[in-house]
Amino acid sequence: MRLEDAQKIIFRPYITERTFDQIARENKICFMVANKASKTQIASAIEALYEVKVRAVNTMRSIGGKKAFVRLVPEDSATDLATKLGLV
């Protein structure tokens, strides 16, 4: 996936107390994503933008938009990615 396309799918990280706990406990990180993005597109975009491997993607629609909870493979750390993004 091209970086331009990935940036149209992934808007920004989404951090709350709950999602912050998921970074450490479940190796998951949450992002706000495009409403029409599929789980496969989200996984490809995350891998292209941040050079990590995605294990699974769960999505949820809320009033604020669509959220994607991205679980990384054990070899890649969500804590390291959050640090790279300036969230920690």
pLDDT in tens, 17-53: 999 999 999 999 999 999 999 999 999 999 999 999 9
Domains by residue range for the chain, with CATH = 3-84 (3.30.70.330)
The amino acid at residue 63 is I
Answer whether 20's CB lies under 8 Å from 5's CB.
no
pLDDT of 88 above 80: no
Per residue in 54-78, pLDDT tens? 999 999 999 999 999 999 999 999 9
Identify whether the C-beta of residue 70 lies closer than 8 Å to the C-beta of residue 30. Answer: yes
